[in-house]
Amino acid sequence: MREAAGRLAEAVPLLEATLRDRERLLGADHPDTLTSRNSLASGYRAAGRLAEAVPLLEATLRDRERLLGADHPDTLTSRNSLASAYQAAGRLAEAVPLLETTLRDLERLLGADHPRVAVLLYRLGTAETALGDLRSAVTRLRRAARIDQAAYGPVHPEVATDFEALAAAQRLDGDVPAARRSIRHALNIRNAGDRVDEEEVRTVQRRLEELTG
């Protein structure tokens, strides 16, 4: 852990220097400069420096939309990175519109049932749960679970994660019986397979006990 932190502390100044050099030599709008800005923002975020990461990501997204267009893969990456940073910073109301745009783009480019679509649905569902938009959250998380079941099989950990999030949204929405069914399903998945994560099982078991107690 300390070793990883040390490597990150060394990497950030290098990323800062690379960005300065590319801005000086290539200009602020060069694709390599935008890539360096995005890399530095990722370094800041990994170091817990969200206050510095977010403005860089916002600027990179604006520039990529202007220079490359809204549908360019690099623009999609920037939009997703900014949404993730907003979520990490607790700025969920700002993250949701970006996630919705990214979801529509992925559905158009990859198809409605692609596993990456499920990732976006999960992130949207958990953000909407936190914001109190529970009906939408339940709908999105159910769909994420269906996609992951089709993609990975019925007892994959991703499916368990979807059902755990779904149970949380259903409970807050007042549908406790549905929440119990979802969390029991998640527990059955966590207990399946050759390598059971006992800590995960205990966590889900406690949530089930809270719903049935």
Predicted confidence at residue 49, as pLDDT, reads 92
Distance CA 99, CA 208 (A): 30
Is the confidence at residue 79, as pLDDT, over 50? yes
Average pLDDT score over residue span 1-10 = 58
Predicted confidence at residue 38, as pLDDT, reads 92
Is the confidence at residue 125, as pLDDT, over 60? yes
Predicted confidence (pLDDT) per residue in 132-177, tens digit = 999 999 999 999 999 999 999 999 999 999 999 999 999 999 999 9
Note whether 116 and 110 are within 8 A (CB): yes
Domain definitions of the chain by residue range: 1-89, 98-213
Q: Which residues are CB-contacts of 166 (< 8 A; sequence separation ≥ 6)? A: 125, 138, 141, 142, 145, 182
Note whether 137 and 169 are within 8 A (CB): yes
Is the confidence at residue 1, as pLDDT, over 50? no
Domain pair 1-89 / 98-213, same fold: yes
pLDDT band at 211 (very low <50, low <70, confident <90, very high): confident
Residue scoring higher pLDDT (136 or 46): 136
According to CATH, the superfamily of the domain at 1-89 is: Tetratricopeptide repeat domain (1.25.40.10)
The pTM of the full predicted model, rounded to 2 decimals, is 0.87
Distance CA 133, CA 93 (A): 11
pLDDT > 90 fraction of the chain, expressed in percent and rounded: 80
Class of domain 98-213: mainly alpha
